[in-house]
Copies of this chain bind each other. A is one copy, B any other.
Amino acid sequence: MSTHRRWTVYLSGEIHSDWRERIETGVAQAGLAVDLTTPVTVHEDSDDCGVAIFGAEDSKFWHDRKGAQLNAIRTQTLIRDADVVVVRFGEKYKQWNAAFDAGYAAALGKPIITLHPPEHDHALKEVDAAANAVAREPEQVVQALAYVIGGATPKTKAEAAE
Contact = CB atoms under 8 A, between A and B. Distances in A.
A72 B20 contact: no
A125 B96 CA distance: 9
A3 to B, nearest CB: 7
A11 to B, nearest CB: 8
How many monomers of this protein are in the complex?
8
Contacts of A59: 57-59, 62
A5 to B, nearest CB: 7
A72 B129 contact: yes
Contact of A2 (B36, B53, B121): B36
Nearest to A48: B153
A33 B52 CA distance: 22
Contact of A99 (B68, B100, B122): B100
Among A34, A41, A61, A95, find the residue whose CB has the most chain B CB atoms closer than 10 A: A61
Given A66-B133, A69-B133, A126-B68, A153 B38 contact: no
A160 interface: no
A2 to B, nearest CB: 5
Nearest to A36: B1
A72 B107 CA distance: 12
B97 A100 contact: no
Contact of A54 (B62, B74, B140): B140
Contacts of A151: 40-42, 45
Given A74-B148, A130-B100, A153-B48, A20 B1 contact: yes
